[in-house]
Amino acid sequence: MISWISAMVKKSAMRIMIDTNVIISSLLKQGSIPDIVLNDVCENHDLILCDYIISESYDVAKRRFPNNIDVLDDLFAQLRYELVPAPRTGEIQIRDVKDQPILNAAITYGVDILITGDKHFLELDLEIPQIITPFEYRKQYINRL
């Protein structure tokens, strides 16, 4: 009876947003830390993406691998994620205005963790969302002993 009840209780999942640079890095090298992190988030947590991250991912892909956009199409088709709009304005300002919609979306939609390699995000001193690199995420949430 106890095992049946515990099977019914869903594991507490965090709401995690992954920035464009991590998504692109995960595509470029299978088995890399960004790839491991993306897979872990998809398997164990709720992936939250905003429309701005999707659009920016395509812009970067068109510049970096214009003949292989279908790889990005396949990734977004396979991922299970919640798509949220990116508000253009917000209370907390970031130095790089191009990143403002992503920060606004993370705050507005209750993201617990924002995973990024972008130094402008990493300079912010926020408790929620926690802003960390893929390496820090792996160290704190995957390699727990």
* Domain topology for 12-142: Rossmann fold (3.40.50)
Percentage of the chain modeled with pLDDT above 70: 90
Is residue 88 within 8 A of residue 50, CB to CB? The reply is: no
Pairing of strands 130-132, 113-115: parallel
Range of lowest pLDDT (7-21, 24-38, 42-56) = 7-21
How confident is the model at residue 72, as a pLDDT?
94
- The SS3 of residue 114 is strand
Which is nearest to 114 in space by CA: 88, 89, 97, 94? 94
145 band by pLDDT with thresholds 50, 70 and 90: very low
How confident is the model at residue 144, as a pLDDT?
61
How confident is the model at residue 3, as a pLDDT?
41
131 band by pLDDT with thresholds 50, 70 and 90: very high
- Please identify which residue in the block is written with the tokens 């253009």: 88
How confident is the model at residue 60, as a pLDDT?
95
Query: Residue 79 corresponds to which tokens in the numbers above?
Result: 């991922």
Q: How far apart are CA 104 and CA 59, in angstroms?
A: 20
Q: How far apart are CA 108 and CA 121, in angstroms?
A: 16
- Above 70 in pLDDT, residue 8? no
Q: How many CB atoms are located within 10 Å of the residue 108 CB?
A: 14
- Above 60 in pLDDT, residue 10? no
